[in-house]
Amino acid sequence: MGKYLALVKNFFSSAIIKQADIFGNILINIIQIWAVVLIWQTVYSPRLSFGGFTLTDTILYYVVILLITFATYTNTADYISQNIKMGTLSQWLLRPTSILLTELARSLGEQLYKLLILVPIYIIVFLTVYFLRIKTNISILGIVLGGFFMIVGFLLNCLFEYTLSILAFWMDEVWSIKHFKEVVTDLLGGKRAPLAFFPVIIQNINKFLPFQFIYFIPAEYMLGKHTVRNFVGDMSLLLLWLMFFIAVSKILYDQGIRKYGAFGN
Amino acid sequence: MTKELGNTGLLVIELMKTIKKYFKMYFLLVKYAAAADLTYWQNLSIGLLVEIFYQVAFLAFFAVIFFQTKSIAGWGPFEIIVLLGIDTFTSELLVGMILVNNTRELPNKIWSGELDRNLLTPVNPIFILTFGRPYFPSFISALPGFFLIWYGLVKLGVRLTVIGLAGSMLFFILGFILIVNMVLDFSLLTFFFQDTQTLPKIGERIAFSFTSRPDDMFGGFLKVLFFFLLPVVYVSSFSAKALITGIDWKYLCLAVLLTLISLIFTKWLWQKAIKNYSSASS
């Protein structure tokens, strides 16, 4: 465990060097979210609510989604698939560490720095909502549960990308699959719009898929739309998906490593 | 007076020759990019599929909105489809012509000193930095935009007129130049803030996020921002309006004026930026 904590610390230190980029990325995501909020403001003009969301709920949803986007982001698929493709995975194989756990440590180290900047901002945001007495269901318990699901959502996202990255043992490029996964996750994960806005049939299918745990479920807890009553059901399904990705990635990895020649290209 | 007219005429002829030369050069660059990409046609196919996935997801977002409402700022679903068709074409051209291998690479080029090579070529360096390496798959994935435009117009029962089409194309060309200048301006800030890679992405994020919005959405401060300072409304929204309802001459004149101002501003910024550049070797 100590070696992985040391890795987290090292990658955290590397992330600090790129602080200008982190602020740039925050600004880029704010612009994207703002554009979406503007369109919903226009749409809401004649109506009070959609799918149980008022305009205030929708704006707060996107504000929270911004935090979750940073918290659950990972580039595991790019990182590992490049190492496999270039043949540099060999260095990892010689280390007394698991590739998966090393990659989790790397992603976590990089995320920690972003969260150090964002969490204080969001504390201010939530306090502002409280002191302005904006009508919401936000509570401290909801924020804690949302934070918990955000962390586990990050883990799920890493595992998902790790599973995809292993396809690099067989494919020249996995970036297309990774982009496809991103597009689907953004849509069915609730980043583009709350899942409650989708047609009921899509909502019902999506309830069993893993995408919602990356953005939507953490946001629902933070906004108080999911409560402790939903916890067991959500957590059970999430654990099933975690075990699924761990199992599939292990099977694929064991098959792939036999094929690996460290040639690079 | 005759002499002055003669000089002006010569200047215009020189300008036309220069534009023709750069068009020929760009056509060659696209040809080479196509040849390179077509050699690895599997990668090209996959690249195209990815671009189409993004377009489908983009349309799905608007489908979700129209699942909840009948209009956005007075624009019905088929008017929005025309707008999105033009925006799809714009976005893909932006990606293929300017972003992927060009402005996004500027921070790396400055940092590594590769920019020196571009500055030494006997070609306008802004041209090389902005258009030097086209990304061919985007040119193909821009084509579905035409289908969306056609579909929206058919559903609206709009009969195209020559003036409407010409006006739309003029708005598109002027709006595209405005967007390119805006993206380039943000990219050029990298010369002043060299420890960041994200400045080019800020300009492109503004372009991608707001060109797909109807101009009627913006009022007050937002109107000043997106009509004048970050002029994103002309390329898609006014272009679509020209096809559907006719040309708004007031805004067409404004677009011409803003294009001239933005060209002058970008040239000024480039000159300031290059003075600030000290090359990797020093």
Q: Does position A136 have pLDDT exceeding 60, yes or no?
A: yes
DSSP B154-166: HHHTPPP-HHHHH
Q: Which residue of B has its CA nearest to A178?
A: B50
Q: Find out whether A122 and A143 touch, Cβ atoms under 8 Å.
A: no
Question: How many percent of chain B have pLDDT more than 70?
Answer: 96
Q: Average pLDDT, whole number, for chain B?
A: 89
Q: pLDDT tens, A191-208?
A: 989 999 998 999 999 999
Contact A24 B217 (CB under 8 A): no
Helix (H) or strand (E) holding A50: strand A49-50
User: Where is mean pLDDT largest: A21-25, A93-97, A181-185?
Assistant: A181-185
| Tokens matching residue A223 | 């906004």
Q: What is the mean pLDDT of residues B190-211?
A: 87
Contact A43 B65 (CB under 8 A): yes
In a domain, B52, yes or no: yes
In a domain, B70, yes or no: yes
Q: Does position A265 have pLDDT exceeding 60, yes or no?
A: no
Q: pLDDT tens, A144-187?
A: 999 999 999 999 999 999 998 888 888 777 778 888 888 899 99
Q: pLDDT tens, B61-90?
A: 999 999 888 889 999 999 999 999 999 999
Query: Considering its fold, how many domains does chain B have in total?
Result: 1
- Which of the 8 DSSP states describes residue A43? H
- pLDDT at A216 (0 to 100): 95
Radius of gyration of chain A (CA): 20
- pLDDT at A258 (0 to 100): 83
Q: pLDDT tens, B244-272?
A: 999 999 999 999 999 999 999 999 999 99
Confidence band of A117 (pLDDT split at 50, 70, 90): confident
- pLDDT at A167 (0 to 100): 85
In a domain, B16, yes or no: no
Q: Find out whether A212 and A206 touch, Cβ atoms under 8 Å.
A: yes
Torsion of CA B280, A85, A165, A31, to 10 degrees: 20
In angstroms, how far is CA B175 from the centroid of its own chain?
Answer: 7
Confidence band of A19 (pLDDT split at 50, 70, 90): low
Chain A residues with CB under 8 Å of a chain B CB are 20-21, 24-25, 27-28, 31-32, 34-35, 38-40, 42-43, 47, 50-51, 172-173, 175-176, 179-180, 183-184, 186-187, 192-193, 197-199
Q: Does position B210 have pLDDT exceeding 70, yes or no?
A: yes
Q: What is the mean pLDDT of residues B5-27?
A: 85
- pLDDT at B2 (0 to 100): 63
Q: Which residues on B lie below 8 Å from A25 (Cβ)?
A: 198
In a domain, B98, yes or no: yes
Q: How many CB atoms within 10 Å of residue B24?
A: 10
Distances (CA, A) of B282 to B28, B112, B150: 34, 11, 55
Q: What is the mean pLDDT of residues B54-63?
A: 90
Q: Does position A86 have pLDDT exceeding 90, yes or no?
A: no
In a domain, B12, yes or no: no
- pLDDT at A70 (0 to 100): 85
In a domain, B119, yes or no: yes
Q: Does position A46 have pLDDT exceeding 80, yes or no?
A: no
- pLDDT at B276 (0 to 100): 82
ipTM over 0.90: no
B209-246 burial, b at 16+ Cβ within 10 Å, e below that, comes to: bbbbbbbebbeeeeeeebbeebbbbbbbbbbbbbbbee
In a domain, B63, yes or no: yes
User: B interface mutation test: which of A62, A69, A183, A200 has the most B CBs within 10 A?
Assistant: A183
- Note down the domain range covering B64: 40-276
- pLDDT at B282 (0 to 100): 43
Q: Average pLDDT, whole number, for chain A?
A: 85
Q: Find out whether B43 and A179 touch, Cβ atoms under 8 Å.
A: no
B196 vs A24, A173, A192: nearest CB: A24
Helix (H) or strand (E) holding B19: helix B2-39
In a domain, B182, yes or no: yes
